[in-house]
Structures are given as structure tokens and as C-alpha cells.
Chains A and B, each alone.
Chain A
Amino acid sequence: MTTDRTTTPATGPDETRFALSCDGITKAFQGVRAVNGATFDVPEGLVTALIGPNGAGKTTVVNILSGSMTCDSGTEHIGGTDVTNWPSYRIARLGLMRTFQLSRELGGLTVLENLLVAAPDQAGESMVNVFFRPSAVRRQERENVARALDILETYGLFHLRDNRASDLSGGQKKLLEISRAVMASPKVLLLDEPMAGVNPALIERIGGYILDLKAAGVTVLMIEHNLSVVERICDHVIVLAEGQTLATGKLSDLRENEEVVQAYLGEVIDASTHG
């Protein structure tokens, strides 16, 4: 791909716009290459699944894309801006938010406060504003609280708004993570196994929330092992194996791809048929 990504968002041959692109990303841990030249584009406004066998480097890629980890080589672009090895707070402020495989929460803060810290462009961050524009800071804070309460209502956490986040159940923590990401008004959302360890009813609910986000124009990239979920909610699939991009496309097409079946899908389909 030769598109100049530093100035304009990358586009594909059919004029598909890409919200997020990475090119030749590598990352080694003590000599072992966890990511070995991963290259892919995430179409704007769609839900894309990142699938692959265990150890394929999926979480490492998400860590690199979100700035939680730096890459050894390669580049990353968000909407045309080169964000390679930017710190995670700058990437978050540019509109890319993430959740974690094992839910993380700010346990000492209340559920409501967990959302408030993620609100973007806050006037109260500047000491100058705190002292010299207190009314503007207070007004924005009131707006943020109202918006956070709205989001908590949507995600069924409103009644827990004053509870400490550490007191939530596993499923509630998953919802809190997504709510916190939504609070930041993201353009791109990276979800690391959002369905892992949650009950079937909650899987349905989370799937519905992801489709709602897509309808609102948010680009979603999610690591997911559950192929029925991928089939139902993902428009596009990226297959990663041994730290490289093995294939991209629709799941139905990838099922016909022998390499993909051998590396991953065969294993998953076998497991689901025999399980």
C-alpha cells in the first residue's frame, strides 16, 4: 500500500476509508518475535474481528495500536495521522480507546468517576481554567456528569453509579470498560475479547451494544474467538498467525481459504463440533 497516510486517511481500491492502519509492525520479547510484520487496514465505520490462534500476537498488536506498548519497527496511522509509538494518552485523545482482555477498572473510584476521567477535552485539566474560568469548568463538569449518567443508563449500570468500581462483578466490569471507552467519544474502539468469560445473555447484550456503536459511526476492531459472534456482528475479519497477517476479508470467504482453515478455523470448528 503506497497511499500517503501522513496527510489523508488511507483508502482502499474501492474507496473504502480506513480508520486505522498498521504496516509492517514488529515486536520481540527477549529475542522472540511476538509480532512479525503485521500489516492491515481497519475499514472506517465497520466492525472488524481480529482472529487467530493463541500466541498469534493479537493482544500484542492491540497493545501497540493503543500505545500501551511500543513497536520495534513498522508504522501505525489513525485517520491519516502517523501515531507510531505515541504514548497511549495521546492516542486516546486522538479518538482511539481500548478495553482489556481481563477487565481493568479504577477500583478506588466510583463507577461514575470511572467514566468522568475518560471525558475528552476537559477544561478542568488546566489550572489556569480552574482558577480563572471556574464557571466554564463547572458547566462542563455538569455536562460530563449528565452524559456519563446517560451512558450508565444505556449500559445498565446507572444503579451502581456511586459504588466503588472494585465492587462490581466480572460482567459489570466488562460493561464498565466499554462505557468508559464510550465516554471518551471514540472514533475507533479496540475491544480485547469483550465476550470472554461472560454469560450468553450478556454476550447478546454486548453484541447489541457493539452494533449500536457501529450505527453511531464508531469503528470497532475486536479480538474474538467465538466465530458465531464474529459471523453475526463483524463485517470484516483479519486473521493473524505467528505475528503476521495471514488473510483479510469476510468470514464466509475466509472459510474457503485453506491457509486460514489450517492455521485457525479448522481448529476452532473442530473444537465447536466436538465440544
Chain B
Amino acid sequence: MQLFWLSVGFGLVTASVLAISAVGLSLQFGITNYINFAYGDFMALGAFVTYVLNNEVLHWNIWVALVAGSLAIGVLAVILNRLILSPFARRFSKSFYVLIVTFGLSLVLLNIEYSIWGADVRFFQMPIDRALHIGPLLLTKYQLVVMAIAIVLMLGVHAMLKTTRLGKSMRAMSDNTTLAMTSGIDTKRITTITWFLSGTLAGLAGAVLGITEGNLTPASGELFLFVIFAAVIVGGVGSIYGAMAGAVLIGLATEISAAFINPAYKLDTAFVILILTLLVRPAGLFARPGKA
């Protein structure tokens, strides 16, 4: 039983990281209608910028470095969209072409990361943390902070989408871009803000992944991307709330299966859930009309 609760604790931490990253990916997909294959590399870059600020150059506190690193990736995402992705999206009506471009961008970013930081495993500069007993769960202070960040962000994203003009504009644009524009919504501006938010969430997810895993490599984002895809598709592509629910489901299932079956099958567990969900609900658990 102790093993079960231990794995539930890990599962909640993984779900938290997944939720942050899956919501970022879903936000961007909902607006642009194409999947960004470079998202995993945005995550790794976020982790490495945080690493540079925390360990390599400035020795900032990990949480300050994490905020700065995340915002930097938000800005980078806006720039990459403006310079690379947006011109392709304008030129080609089929999103398939832009998807290929994001795949190419992913390879470029990954190799830039390798050329700068190499393939060695790196570590954040954080004091050694003691595990705390919270009910039946055993969690470190860092893991608790990561979970708190995820909860606050999910509530924040929910409040933004439901109550603010910006959120309503994003939902309107995700629903019908032409109609949103003729209703007076500046879709170009909303797209830019969405890329900033998506990039920031990717950078943040990469950094908290590094914190919870205890290490980071340029490939860590790409490997995690498959789990994010599973969470997003299980929840329903384009649905923010689906992404949150998918993250919790996949996060818990992968960690509990790792404890009782074999940690090597974590990714397999995620994809078994994905296949089962698609068999029962092909559009995902919380799919919205008009989206995938």
C-alpha cells in the first residue's frame, strides 16, 4: 500500500508538469490549428535558460531563474512564430505544411542546444530537500511548489478564458477566426499573445520537469513531448480542460504503472490509455465541436 501512495505522489507531480505543458500546447493549437512539434524543444530551452541563470552564470535563486527562463521562451516563441511559422501559415492553407516546418524547427533547436550545452546531464543548483509526509503521500518541498504552481496556473488559465476579454477573444478565435475578426477581434494580436503564453508555459514546464526529475538534457523535452501528446489527445485536441484532465489521468497512470509493472513501460502505459480512449471516444474525453 505504501508503494501505491508513493506512486500516487509521483503521479500527481508528473500530472502537474504535464498539465502545465499540455495546456500550453493546447492553447496554441486551438488558435493556430496546427501542432507545434518544436514544443518539446521550447521546454528544453526553458530548462536550459533557467539552468544558465541558476547555475552556470548568474547563480540566481531557482524560482527567480525559472520565471525569467519561462518568460524568455515566451518571447522566443513570439519571435519564431513571426519570423518562421506565421509566413508559412499565411502561404499554405493546409496546416500539414506548417506542421512539417515545426518538425524542422524542432531539429534545428535541438541541435543548437546540443552545440551549446552538449549531451551531458546537467543539474540545477538547489539545496538538498527532505521529503515531507502529507497524509499518505511522501513529497519534497520542491515537488509541492511545482504542484502549487500547476494548480494556480490552471485556475489562472480557467479564469482568463472564462472571465477576461482576452480569454473570450481566444475562445472566439479558436471557434471561428473569420467571425471573430468581423466581430472586431484583432486576431493577429491574439495570436501573438497566445504564442507568448504557450512559449512561457513550455519554458516553465521544461524547468519544472528539470526540477522534479533532478536533471536536464537537451533531449528531455522531446522525450516528454510524447507523453504530452498522449495527455492532449486523451483529453480532446484543442480543449484546454481536456488537456488538464488528460494530464491528471496520464500522469497518475504512468507513475502507478511504473511502481507495479516496470518503470520501463511508463510510455507504453500512456499510449495504451491513449488507444483505449480513442477506441471508446475517438475525439477524446472532452473534445469540442469543430476541433479535431
Q: Which residues of chain A have a CB within 8 Å of any CB of chain B?
A: 66-68, 87-89, 92-93, 97-98, 100, 104-109, 113, 116-118, 120, 122-125, 127, 130, 137, 141, 166, 180, 184
Interface pair B165/A125, CB less than 8 Å apart: yes
Q: In the bound complex, how far is the Cα of B277 from the Cα of A171, in angstroms? A: 37
Interface pair B183/A108, CB less than 8 Å apart: no
Chain B 69-119 interface residues, beta-carbon cutoff 8 Å to A: none
Contacts of A107 in B (CB 8 A): 175-176, 289-290
Among B171, B174, B175, find the residue whose CB has the most chain A CB atoms closer than 10 A: B175
**Is B122 part of the binding interface, using a Cβ–Cβ cutoff of 8 Å?**
no
Interface pair B186/A108, CB less than 8 Å apart: no
Query: What are 9 inter-chain pairs, A to B, with CB distance below 8 A?
Result: A87-B188, A92-B181, A98-B182, A104-B179, A105-B176, A105-B179, A106-B175, A125-B186, A130-B166
Contacts of A93 in B (CB 8 A): 184
Q: In the bound complex, how far is the Cα of B188 from the Cα of A137, in angstroms? A: 22
Interface pair A127/B166, CB less than 8 Å apart: yes
With A122-B165, A125-B165 already in contact, the answer to whether A108 and B171 are too (CB < 8 A) is yes
Q: In the bound complex, how far is the Cα of B165 from the Cα of A123, in angstroms? A: 8
Interface pair A124/B165, CB less than 8 Å apart: yes
Nearest B residue to A96 by beta-carbon distance? B182
Q: Which residues of chain B have a CB within 8 Å of any CB of chain A?
A: 163-166, 168-169, 171-172, 174-176, 178-188, 193, 288-290
Interface pair B183/A184, CB less than 8 Å apart: yes
Partner of A125, one of B169, B172, B187, B288: B169
Interface pair A109/B166, CB less than 8 Å apart: no
Contacts of A113 in B (CB 8 A): 168, 171
Contacts of B182 in A (CB 8 A): 66-68, 88-89, 92, 97-98
> In the complex, what's the smallest C-beta–C-beta distance from B284 to chain A, in angstroms?
15
Q: In the bound complex, how far is the Cα of B171 from the Cα of A104, in angstroms? A: 15
Interface pair B169/A92, CB less than 8 Å apart: no
Q: In the bound complex, how far is the Cα of B188 from the Cα of A179, in angstroms? A: 25
Number of A-B contacts (CB under 8 A): 88
Interface pair A166/B166, CB less than 8 Å apart: no
Q: In the bound complex, how far is the Cα of B185 from the Cα of A18, in angstroms? A: 26
Interface pair B290/A117, CB less than 8 Å apart: no
Q: In the bound complex, how far is the Cα of B224 from the Cα of A45, in angstroms? A: 60
> In the complex, what's the smallest C-beta–C-beta distance from A166 to chain B, in angstroms?
6
Contacts of B180 in A (CB 8 A): 106, 117
Interface pair B175/A89, CB less than 8 Å apart: no
Interface pair A117/B166, CB less than 8 Å apart: no
Interface pair B184/A130, CB less than 8 Å apart: no
With A108-B175, A116-B168, A124-B166 already in contact, the answer to whether A166 and B185 are too (CB < 8 A) is no
Q: In the bound complex, how far is the Cα of B181 from the Cα of A98, in angstroms? A: 11
> In the complex, what's the smallest C-beta–C-beta distance from A73 to chain B, in angstroms?
22
Q: In the bound complex, how far is the Cα of B185 from the Cα of A97, in angstroms? A: 12
Among B166, B168, B180, find the residue whose CB has the most chain A CB atoms closer than 10 A: B168
Extra pairs beyond A68-B182, A106-B172, A117-B169 (6, CB < 8 Å): A89-B187, A100-B179, A106-B179, A109-B171, A118-B184, A124-B164
